[in-house]
Amino acid sequence: MAATASTVRATGLYRRLQHESRAATASPVELVTMLYDELETAIGVLGAMVRQGQRISATDPAHRARAILIGLDAGLDHEAGGDVAGALSRVYRSMRRKLDEAVAANSEEALADLLEGILTISSAWRQLG
């Protein structure tokens, strides 16, 4: 049975409500982990789009991934985090640059490399949880 537009919308609404309720009770580490989950999904969608021959510039997943990286960077507490926060900020800026380059080049390989780095850092965050 094919999904109708209304079932797709309802599924999207349900997922958003799940995320919102989960976020309302999450610890700071869980919130960061949730952002990484969303970032991994966005990069995965971009890779799939490239494999299907689509241009990925100016798409929702590209904007979402960039916004998450900006949010992760902006959320760092440099006073409490010291050198670690500074290092993460440099990593997030580098990831944004790599994302921008991958999107401009419509490069599946560059997205895969970016995702590999994201998975490495998200794994460390998950261990904190």
Q: What is the CATH number of the domain that holds 59?
A: 1.20.120.340
- The DSSP code for 59 is -
Q: What is the pLDDT of residues 3-14, one digit of tens each?
A: 454 554 555 555
Residue 9 is encoded by which pair of tokens? 């919308």
* Residue 22 included in any domain: no
pLDDT of residue 24: 61
pLDDT surpasses 50 at 129: yes
Residue 52 to residues 5, 49, 59, 99, 106, Cα–Cα distance (Å): 22, 5, 14, 19, 11
Q: How many domains does the chain have?
A: 1
* Residue 49 included in any domain: yes
* Residue 9 included in any domain: no
* Residue 45 included in any domain: yes
Q: What is the pLDDT of residues 37-74, one digit of tens each?
A: 999 999 999 999 999 999 999 999 999 999 999 999 99
